């Protein structure tokens, strides 16, 4: 099973995506930060034996277009909805990690008919995260507040991109070399582009503004996820001590949760075999 590279011209943005498989059922894999769709490399071929699988670079990331705006999750989710229709599908199973999981959550709320089964990897709902900051969690997630500052992160990270990304890729994995040098080089090259770096920081900034506002409105209106929802998180990571399934049950009707052993944050790269096993058991072909 091969993985091929493609581009799709959507309304307002050009999206690069990787593709594997030829089945009638589609799986969309959405990456996090500081990564690109390359983070799914261990899963694309085996999933492609049962599904058509695509792993896009989200707008602003990797080889996708970098427009001057639109980095809120609602706009990025709309990109993904247009992408699957461009490819001839009207719905998909969606798997998101980190920032990509937040895009997937928003996509499932805004366009529930697009998504059959939903898997979210190593996140809690945005409004839960924003509402729970204390000195310990703020210290652990300091980069959210650093990325929020206008212009300053771009100034300080530029020229130090590799060191900055390695800090996260090594410390947020159980084993420092779990992501692998080939992937680190891929991510450093991607985020060394000033436009890509800026876009990814705008993604974080939107989390405190448009994304949080949209999530608050949905919560007040009683809008919940209705799709079957699988939650996976690193047993040794930041969510290892959280009641992840109980928290998400406040936002979704059908929830199952499973910690991934010997893993911190980068589930698809640290423990791809465990993630694959759980996804294959969850996603109907």
98 catalytic residue (yes or no): yes
Q: Among 204, 211, 215, 218, which one carries the catalytic annotation? A: 204
17 counts as catalytic: no
Would you say 259 and 245 are in contact if contact means Cβ atoms under 8 Å apart?
Answer: no
Exactly one of 72, 98, 122, 215 is catalytic; which is it?
Answer: 98
Q: Tell me which of 16, 93, 97, 265 is the catalytic residue.
A: 265
Asked whether the beta carbons of 57 and 64 are under 8 A apart, the reply is yes
What φ, ψ does residue 106 adopt, rounded to 5°? -65, -40
CA dihedral 173, 176, 177, 179 (to 10 degrees): 20
Which residues are paired to 4 by β-bridges? 19
Query: What is the Cβ-side half-sphere exposure of residue 251, based on CA atoms within 13 angstroms?
Result: 23
How far apart are the C-alpha atoms of 48 and 7, rounded to whole Å? Answer: 19
Task: Residue 162: name the closest of 199, 189, 182, 193 by CA.
Answer: 189
Q: Are 193 and 60 spatial neighbours (Cβ–Cβ below 8 Å)? A: no
Is 251 noted as a catalytic residue in this protein? Answer: no
- Region of residue 38 (phi > 0: left; psi between -120 and 50: alpha; otherwise: beta): alpha
The C-alpha atoms of residue 270 and residue 247 are separated, in whole angstroms, by 25
Gap between the Cα atoms of 201 and 61, Å rounded: 11
- Catalytic residue list: 98, 204, 265
């Amino acid at each position: 099973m091969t993985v091929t590279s493609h581009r799709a011209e959507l309304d307002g943005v050009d999206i690069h995506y990787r593709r594997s498989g030829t089945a009638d059922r589609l799986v969309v894999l959405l990456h996090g930060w500081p990564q690109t769709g390359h983070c799914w490399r261990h899963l694309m071929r085996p999933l492609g034996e049962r599904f058509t699988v695509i792993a896009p670079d989200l707008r602003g990331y990797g080889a996708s277009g970098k427009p001057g705006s639109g980095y809120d999750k609602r706009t990025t989710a709309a990109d993904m909805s247009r992408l699957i229709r461009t490819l001839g599908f009207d719905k998909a199973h969606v798997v998101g990690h980190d920032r990509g999981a937040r895009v997937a959550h928003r996509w499932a709320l805004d366009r529930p008919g697009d998504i059959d089964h939903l898997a979210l990897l190593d996140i809690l709902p945005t409004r839960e995260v924003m509402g729970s900051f204390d000195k310990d969690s703020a210290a652990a997630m300091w980069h959210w507040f650093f990325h929020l500052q206008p212009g300053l992160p771009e100034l300080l990270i530029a020229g130090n991109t590799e060191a900055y990304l390695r800090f996260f890729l090594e410390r947020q994995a159980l084993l420092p070399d779990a992501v692998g040098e080939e992937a680190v080089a891929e991510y450093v090259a991607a985020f060394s582009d000033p436009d890509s770096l800026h876009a990814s920081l705008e993604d974080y900034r939107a989390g405190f503004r448009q994304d949080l506002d949209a999530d608050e409105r949905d919560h007040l209106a009683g809008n919940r996820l209705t799709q079957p929802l699988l939650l996976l998180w690193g047993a040794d990571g930041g969510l290892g001590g959280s009641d992840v399934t109980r928290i998400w049950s406040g936002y979704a009707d059908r929830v199952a949760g499973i910690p991934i052993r010997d893993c911190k944050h980068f589930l698809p790269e640290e423990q791809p075999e465990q993630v694959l096993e759980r996804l294959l058991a969850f996603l109907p072909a």
